[in-house]
Amino acid sequence: MKRDLTRKEFLKLSGAAAGAGLLASSGFGSLANAQTSDLLHRTIHSSGEMIPAVGLGTAETFGDLSQDFQMRRDTIETLFREGGTVIDTAPTYSKAEQVVGRALDELGARDKCFLATKTSTRGDKQVGIDQNTQSFIDLRTDKFDLLQVHNHRGTDMHIESINDLKADGKVRYVGLTHSNNSLNDAAVTVIESGRLDFMQVQYNMFDRSVEERVLPAARDNGVAMMINLPFARGRVFSATAGVEIPEWAKEFGVDSWGKFFLKYTIAHPDVTVAIPGTIHTHHVVDNIGALRGRLPTMIERARMVQFIEDL
């Protein structure tokens, strides 16, 4: 019943956007594709809230402070200045939660941020709850926008705990993540159980396996899709090193390989937000730039895949 109502609300909101001529032209005709200000936003189906369709991931080097904190703070400040809001982190990304928490605090930017973190443990339910408590401290916040079960570890028990936090007003959305396509079928089962607001998976030009079942299941069940590894951990850049961006890609606003790969991913109508990881301000500017201009059509996306496969 709840899903029916929220879907109706979503369609009403999307219809209003369509009526106002705000839909971006993805070539898929998706109602979830809306342009607010000059950046592409997408709708979280379970609430109707809209978020910019590119954010920031903080795995790998974000929590490694062998380089300085100021660099990470500048990266986060740049995200907000460019119009992004979504940050994804986890208690198991080294010191990333502490870095993000301190940066948000110093920038006075918690309210600008759609903050997503994870329950990331092989331990029992209480271990997960204790970890969440530490995440609130490290991220210097009393509320997570999104709390996700990391890599399907203890999915059922940790979803219960996340729902308890949601009932207390400390979490807004419930999620589940993986980046390993052998977990796609398990993800579909949880998506179809109706317990998720968000599912997070890998989707890039080198791994399109979620197109088969996960993305359609998310669409059918009103689950928002967060995309990790949009650059296949940087492999897309090594594959295109020294290669000229094709002239035809410039027709949909591509002037960098970062925009080429991000526009490919977010052009899928069932993608809500992609979270490329970086600690470099110029890469944040490039990545948020993928939200400007039109998206490739279905035909253009097929041409993009062919171009990369022919390299």
Ligand X SMILES: NC(=O)c1ccc[n+]([C@@H]2O[C@H](COP(=O)([O-])OP(=O)(O)OC[C@H]3O[C@@H](n4cnc5c(N)ncnc54)[C@H](OP(=O)(O)O)[C@@H]3O)[C@@H](O)[C@H]2O)c1
The residues binding ligand X (CB under 6 A) are 57-61, 88, 150-151, 177-179, 200, 228-234, 237, 258, 275-280, 283, 286-287
- Shorter beta-carbon distance to ligand X: residue 10 or 80: 80
Task: Identify the CA nearest to 104 among candidates 124, 120, 89, 92.
Answer: 89
Please state the closest distance from residue 23 (CB atom) to ligand X, in A.
26
Dihedral sign, CA of 173, 24, 208, 309? negative
Residue nearest to ligand X (CB): 277
β-pairing verdict for 273-274 and 56-57 = unpaired
The residue among 97 and 286 lying less far from ligand X, judged by its C-beta, is 286
Asked if residue 112 lies in contact with residue 86, where contact means CB atoms within 8 angstroms, the answer is no
Strand bridging mode 144-149 / 114-119: parallel
- 144, 135 Cβ separation under 8 angstroms: yes
Shortest Cβ 164–ligand X spacing (Å): 22
Residue 30 or 151: the one with the smaller Cβ distance to ligand X is: 151
Q: Give residue 293's Cα distance to chain centre.
A: 19
Min separation Cβ 310 and ligand X, Å: 21
Provide the β-strand partners of residue 54: 274
By C-beta, is 88 or 197 nearer to ligand X?
88
Cβ 227 to ligand X, closest distance in Å? 8
Nearer to ligand X, 276 or 293 (CB): 276
Give min distance, CB of 200 to ligand X, in A: 5
Taking the mean position of all CA atoms in its chain, how far away is CA 273? 4
- Judged by beta carbon, residue 9 or residue 207, the one nearer ligand X is 207
CA 295 to each of CA 42, 121, 142, 214, 290: distance values in angstroms, whole numbers, following the listed order? 13, 38, 37, 22, 9
For ligand X, which is the closer residue by CB, 165 or 275? 275
CA 137, 56, 245 angle in degrees (round to 5)?
Answer: 165
Rounded to a whole number of angstroms, the minimum distance from the CB of residue 81 to ligand X is: 16
**Minimum distance of ligand X from residue 230's CB (angstroms):** 5
CB of 199 to ligand X, least distance (A): 11
* Residue number with CB closer to ligand X (43 or 228): 228
Q: How far apart are CA 97 and CA 135, in angstroms?
A: 7
Name every residue whose Cβ is closer than 8 Å to that of residue 81 and which is 6 or more positions away in sequence. Answer: none
Nearer to ligand X, 57 or 222 (CB): 57
Task: Single out the residue of 111, 107, 106, 119 nearest to residue 146, CA to CA.
Answer: 119
Q: What's the token pair of residue 246?
A: 């094709």
Shortest spacing between CB 262 and ligand X, in angstroms: 8
Question: Rounded CA gap, 81 and 72, in Å?
Answer: 14
